[in-house]
Amino acid sequence: MERSLSMELVRVTEAAAQSSARWMGLGKKNEADDAATSAMRSVFDTIPMQGTVVIGEGEKDEAPMLYIGENLGTGSGPKVDVAVDPLEGTNIVAQGTWNALAVIAIADEKNLLHAPDMHMKKIAVGKESVGKIDINAPVKDNLEAVAKARNKSMEDLVVIVLDRPRHTELIEEIRSAGARIKLISDGDVAAAMNTAFDDTGVDVLMGIGGAPEGVLSAVALKCLGGEIQGKLMPANEEDISRCSQMGIADLEKVYYMDDFCSGDDAIFAATGVTDGELLQGVQFKGEKVTTQSVVMRAKSGTVRFIDGNHSLKKKPNLVMEP
């Protein structure tokens, strides 16, 4: 992959974030997702690459999506796999809460996991805890291992979990172990990333979220030196059939970092749509818009935070009015 693609991807996430942020707090998650998707597509059309979406988002929300198999880019340049979520946190934007992102990850062709958009059980940690976790181990064992790796007492450990009825038992196990919990409504890509940054106060992510978010999180953590493990959780015969169509026969398979993202290079880019622990959301200031993004590359280990100032007069097409 070419190094210049890093900044090109930031252009894509910035456009998606600006467009979807116009719908913040209006209670219209599909419209916000549609705005992000349309903006992403229009900027992708200008990027010199031969991209193929190998895992996408939107199907579960009944919103327009960048679909699996879709070709992105100008058709020239490097051949890359693309994992994408134009708006990671459609409900977050609709409600005006925290940690909505526009997210992209790319890697060389055939290097990203090709999996259906369905639920996935995950555990994610930062650099200090790499090699210490096991998704098949009891919750308490994993928490003790992370606490030891991070030189913390159990009561100081913070576990981030999606606030869902399916996690009732998990939450009880975490509390019984003595750790603290941060419940989130949506946005487990941001949650997984936060495990790799000390300032966020998050030590480990646990629970069941989406498979696309799992791949995106894996690329981010590969760049940051962290770790994620996952297991697909098909809900019905239709999900099982979709797995079969993609060549996935072992439904008990544990996906490790090299399964999510093989090779030594990958690029991850995200722009904040609403405010979060790591990134500030889009702010509209008269004739200009400000954004904050992060772009990371696995090969170099470089992490860049980018503050953007955008003129609405010069680029009105990138921001859709509600």
Binding-site residue positions for Mn(2+): 33, 57, 85, 88, 213
User: Is residue 91 within 8 Å of 62, Cβ to Cβ?
Assistant: no
Distance CA 197, CA 188 (A): 15
Place of tokens 């544990």: 254
Extract the tokens encoding 120.
């996935």
C-alpha dist (Å) from residue 94 to 25, 101, 184, 278, 322: 5, 13, 15, 20, 12
In this structure, is the dihedral angle defined by the CA atoms of residues 321, 29, 40 and 301, taken in order, positive or negative?
positive
Backbone angles phi, psi at 35, to 5 degrees: -65, -45
Binding-site positions read: 33, 57, 85, 88, 213
- Nearest CA to 121 among 220, 234, 14, 227? 234
The H-or-E segment that residue 314 falls in is none
The upper half-sphere exposure of residue 30, i.e. CA atoms within 13 Å in the direction of its Cβ, equals: 6
Extract the tokens encoding 112.
């990203």
C-alpha dist (Å) from residue 26 to 23, 98, 210: 6, 15, 24
